[in-house]
A and B are shown apart, each in its own frame.
Chain A
């Protein structure tokens, strides 16, 4: 028999977990004490939210379960935003929280909060361990739930006296994996018939492809069928960006050719995507001429926002190889190809002394960085520019808070990704507003000297909110001016992080080269014109084909 704390760490080791993120505190102290004698490497972040985002970055950059640890009360509540983030983006995560001892539970004890109650609607599942013999089976169940089917976060709340007391060995065999649904042959046949009959089919690729480890199967499908493709924010990296019929991201800030093609298609094949509101714009005018073939692992997503004409429920790795597309689609391919060419973004890599253009800078960064570089971002204008103008070789290379849209995601997620991929180039592209939300994680970079590169796109504004105020609120700018930002290079210097600051176009290439070649952590502060906005934009309650492609 081991003490609960030791048993947890032994269990984690058996699961192959050798790196965790967290922050110690009273109720979780026994686990931290046991960590001293464990082979598991713990990464101390500077806030529980940072630790949880680091675990998300670890998970998303590897498709493996990320683990983070926090104490009761404020430690646990600080995890909640990240828990919701992982839920909305289907990230496999196990969060372990300490709880006050069972004898004190329900007494409003010091640092006691009902984290189980708080967690219910923002995680895939959550469990409170109330008996020592439940500890190991609960952890086993947590990992299984986090991984299986549509992945997601699981929270396990463990009272302190269970951590300090003896727990029995688990004699429970690992629960058998839940059987994945198998797409019904008749439905597969109907799906293939739809594909054959369609004149203008379009692949709409979501984050489920990467989560299902079905990138190869998707690319094979594209090679076989030569169908045009669009991606969601989370789907970026799934398709080969060099393919002539790859159109990039669709939706509110989607590229023009992507949105127009979807609006014109007559068969929309949603693969691991959920037709969310940022993608569809005005729902009843989204892809108005199209039948919907919806393929997903989660039955709750089928028919949720739009009735599917045919749905295939199951593992994408199994389903995609069974799809075929016969018939002559050449006219459609040519039309999409012409649309793509006519709407191509006019990058002009000039070196004039003018203001820096974020799209061009990011495209240059994309071209200069390693093919397998991992890019995380925060949330806002810079996030959309990254999605529009950078290219990713795999969905694990693009870490972006999609469903929840959580500012402050980028830096800690990059730290987690660098822990998981120590030899890979990792760049955090941050907005000046978002960066300040988890700026304390510079301390984590300093502690571990991880070579994360931070690129701050600074327009001294909460840029996306400002853009909406400008376009849709009569230029009434309310609380979006951040011109009193700290001097970011001095901030970096306080954490022993080298930095540079640039303000004009002629400096961009050299500054990017210097940043990417730097051996340790580095911060590049890029000063932008606050008047720059993200284009295209689909105004609220508007169909995607009515997007505004440029300033009026």
Chain B
């Protein structure tokens, strides 16, 4: 199953490594990755990261761990059908950062 993740991250040292490590460790493969400064958030130095991942586990195994990253400002997850990304459902978790 493919998933499209849209993240807004604080531009802190190692922030991208955190996302990549978490994704690998929780058993997901990265198929596409794009990163750019968030134009509307220039003042607060935010990065916009789009990532397409695939994995056998439920995506919540990954998204619940990404939510723990202190440099993550927001996360949106969509189910994607490969090869063309088709929006099936949008899963926007509003998890408290308590862990």
- Which residues of A line the B interface, CB within 8 A? 116-117, 120-121, 124-128, 130, 145, 148-150, 152, 178-181, 297-301, 303-304, 313
Contacts and interface: CB of A to CB of B under 8 A. Distances in A.
Given A299-B67, A304-B61, A178 B97 contact: yes
A313 B25 CA distance: 25
Contacts of B70: 125, 145
Interface string B48-78: 0000000000101100110110100000000
Contacts of B99: 149-150, 152, 297-301
B17 interface: yes
Given A120-B21, A300-B68, A148 B14 contact: no
Contacts of A121: 21-22, 25
Contacts of A120: 14, 17-18, 21
25 contacts: A117-B14, A120-B14, A120-B21, A121-B21, A121-B22, A124-B68, A126-B14, A127-B13, A128-B13, A145-B70, A148-B98, A149-B97, A150-B98, A150-B99, A152-B99, A178-B96, A178-B98, A179-B96, A180-B96, A298-B99, A300-B99, A303-B58, A303-B60, A304-B61, A313-B96
B42 interface: no
A406 to B, nearest CB: 20
Give me the 7 closest cross-chain CB pairs, A-B, nearest first.
A149-B98, A298-B99, A300-B64, A150-B99, A181-B96, A299-B95, A125-B70
Nearest to A114: B14
A300 B66 CA distance: 9
Interface of B is mostly: loop
Contacts, number: 57
A415 B97 CA distance: 33
Contacts of B98: 148-150, 178, 180-181, 297-299
A177 to B, nearest CB: 10
Contact of A299 (B12, B14, B17, B64): B64
A298 B98 CA distance: 6
A303 B60 CA distance: 9
Contacts of A178: 96-98
A157 to B, nearest CB: 9
Given A124-B68, A128-B13, 20 more contacts: A116-B14, A117-B14, A120-B14, A120-B21, A121-B22, A127-B12, A128-B14, A178-B96, A181-B98, A297-B98, A298-B98, A299-B64, A299-B67, A299-B98, A300-B65, A300-B67, A300-B99, A301-B99, A303-B58, A303-B60
Contacts of B12: 127
Contacts of B58: 303
Interface string B1-21: 000000000001110011001
Interface of B: 12-14, 17-18, 21-22, 25, 58, 60-61, 64-65, 67-68, 70, 95-99
A299 B67 CA distance: 9
Nearest to B25: A121
A313 B14 CA distance: 30
Nearest to B24: A121
Contacts of A127: 12-13
Nearest to A304: B61
A218 to B, nearest CB: 19
A300 B59 CA distance: 12
B13 A116 contact: yes
Nearest to B71: A125
A6 B68 CA distance: 32
Contacts of A303: 58, 60
A148 B96 CA distance: 12
B13 A130 contact: yes
Contacts of A148: 98
B45 to A, nearest CB: 13
A2 to B, nearest CB: 24
A149 B94 CA distance: 16
A113 to B, nearest CB: 14
Contacts of B22: 121
Contacts of A304: 61, 64
Nearest to A154: B70
Contacts of A126: 14
A301 B95 CA distance: 12
Nearest to A296: B99
Name the residue among A116, A120, A124, A145 with the largest chain B CB count within 10 angstroms: A120
B10 to A, nearest CB: 11
Contacts of B67: 299-300
Contacts of B65: 300
Nearest to B70: A125
A458 to B, nearest CB: 38
B24 to A, nearest CB: 9
A114 B76 CA distance: 31
A299 B18 contact: no
Name the residue among B13, B58, B96 with the largest chain A CB count within 10 angstroms: B96
A148 B12 CA distance: 21
B46 to A, nearest CB: 17
Name the residue among B22, B61, B99 with the largest chain A CB count within 10 angstroms: B99
Nearest to B13: A128
A424 B58 CA distance: 47
A495 B36 CA distance: 59
B73 to A, nearest CB: 14
Contacts of A125: 70
